[in-house]
Amino acid sequence: MTKTILFTVLSLISSNSLSAQTPAAAPALSIDEKIDAAVAPTAQFISDIIFYEVTIAGASIPLILIWLLAGAVFFTVYLGFINIRGFRHALDIVRGGYDQPDAPGEVSHFQALTAAVSGTVGLGNIAGVAIAISLGGPGATFWMIMAGVLGMSSKFVSCTLGVKYRDVHADGTVSGGPMQYLSKGLRERGMGKTGKFLAGFFALMCIGGSIGAGNMFQVNQAAQQFVSVTGGEASFFAAGNAWIFGLIMSVLVGLVIIGGMKSIAQVTEKIVPLMCGIYVLAAIVVLLTNITAIPAAFVAIFEGAFTASAVGGGLVGVMMQGLRRGLFSNEAGIGSAAIAHSAVRTGVPVTEGFVASLEPFIDTVIVCTMTALVIVVTGAYTLDTGDGIALTSASFATVISWFPLVLTGAVILFAFSTMITWSYYGLKSWTYLFGNTRVADISFKVIFCIFVVLGASMQLGSVVAFSDAMLFAMSIPNMIGLYILVPTVKREMQAFLVYARSSKKAPLTEQAVETAQA
């Protein structure tokens, strides 16, 4: 697929240069416009299928949202609300309480968590939250938090399976995620052909999602924000020079991803705490400045969550705006995070399930909620900017006048960390399809870096719509696999909980966990 896109881009460049040599009756279309025109029909067709909407109580709801939400609710109930009662265990594991230095894997529990968080904490936490509240009102915040809490269970299931069915290669590197647990897990249940098809479909969608939503869209938005604070149309990076910004980002991304998961984890374990810390600290400053307005903000959030106001299509509309932002932001059920978590150094798969459950909590319950509170407390959600980043920036700027500069730094860091993590997701899907060889490894990384430059300099249009559809299409095969394999997760979860409660615990091993339960 990516080769086809490259050939398309090259042919369009060639045809554009030829057309420039001959006079035309009408102005020639730019390369961006030609690509958009070529992709638009297919993008619209795929998008209409993936984001097909049904109307409930006057609100339009994408079926894919119901698909993700139903799974999150089911896993939460089936596993006995492990998202709540397993929270303390998750913190203990991240702090190193159950480390296994000699176990197979490439990174620590903390590094795996930061790598996965870097793939979800991004522009959705800044722009998406603002749009959700402007459409659904303050009440959308409550349902956004609920989506984060429920999504913790979906992440618990998928990341436990990711470690359980991963492949550990001779050089110590790891390949894991939905590709492995769909193919191997379903084969164990006599569904080998079905599992192989679902795994291949997931891998193909993941490659498209990584290059589009996880790469081109990220660098494009970062470039636009950078141009905005460096003079707008007068900026050196405006107009035809945006590719220079893309080239710089491409080099930085390339320097990180060439080292594989260990290199990515070493970067994300520093960037993620830094960018989340700065962003949350700025939010706290705004909230403290408006401390007298906080009680009224909470009242507005809770009343709005259960009041059938006209905003956002009534009560159901408000609910769906919040749930949509929460689930779409933390990507619970999509399956991508399991690829990063699979690289963890452990011999007990369920331990990483607990760690992964913290990811939606950080992404949605903390970062998204802080953005929402700032927007509600400052009253900026009533502004009709039509631009999520501008709305969030305006909210913070009411207290911190120079915040747009900080926001630009945050957007670039968010975009950079998202790109390096999604490069890993795309790479593992690529090597699953084309073989775990050096050639396959290098070829994907080169292609990914080329698209960083293209993403910064193009008007993406239908390309992003197409990649978004591919991104959420990943949840279809993934959730099918999770429903089939979740009994395995439940057995391993119960065994670990018995082990964790025992007063005299042996060193953590898979055998020790099984013995404790027996």
- Between the alpha carbon of residue 438 and those of residues 140, 170, 434, 442, 444, the distances in Å are 47, 14, 11, 6, 10
pLDDT of residue 507: 66
Closest CA to 219 of 407, 451, 6, 415: 415
Alpha helices in 183-259 (DSSP H): 186-188, 192-211, 217-229, 242-257
Closest CA to 300 of 289, 284, 311: 311
Q: How far apart are CA 287 and CA 429, in angstroms?
A: 42
Query: Strands 53-56 and 59-62: what pairing?
Result: antiparallel
Amino acid identity of 62? Answer: P
**DSSP tally for the chain: helices H, then strands E:** 27, 4
pLDDT of residue 20: 45
Q: What is the pTM of this model?
A: 0.84
Please report where in the chains the tokens 């009102």 appear, as a residue: 137
Please report where in the chains the tokens 């339960």 appear, as a residue: 517
Q: How far apart are CA 466 and CA 149, in angstroms?
A: 29
Closest CA to 349 of 147, 198, 185: 185
Low-confidence residues of the chain, pLDDT below 50?
Answer: 1-22, 310, 312
Q: Over the range 145-159, which residues count as b (16 or more CB within 10 Å of their CB) and which as e?
A: bbbbbbbbbbbbbbb
Q: How far apart are CA 481 and CA 375, in angstroms?
A: 38
Distance of CA 465 to the CA centre of its chain: 16
pLDDT of residue 17: 44
pLDDT of residue 517: 61
- Between the alpha carbon of residue 366 and those of residues 14, 177, 372, 415, the distances in Å are 48, 26, 10, 19
pLDDT of residue 154: 93
For the chain, what percentages of helix, strand and coil (3-state, to nearest 5) are there? 75, 5, 20
pLDDT of residue 316: 65
pLDDT of residue 15: 45
Torsion of CA 47, 49, 55, 60, to 10 degrees: -10
Q: How far apart are CA 148 and CA 238, in angstroms?
A: 37
Q: How far apart are the first and last CA of the chain?
A: 50
pLDDT of residue 118: 83
Q: How many residues does the chain have?
A: 518
Q: How far apart are CA 314 and CA 306, in angstroms?
A: 10
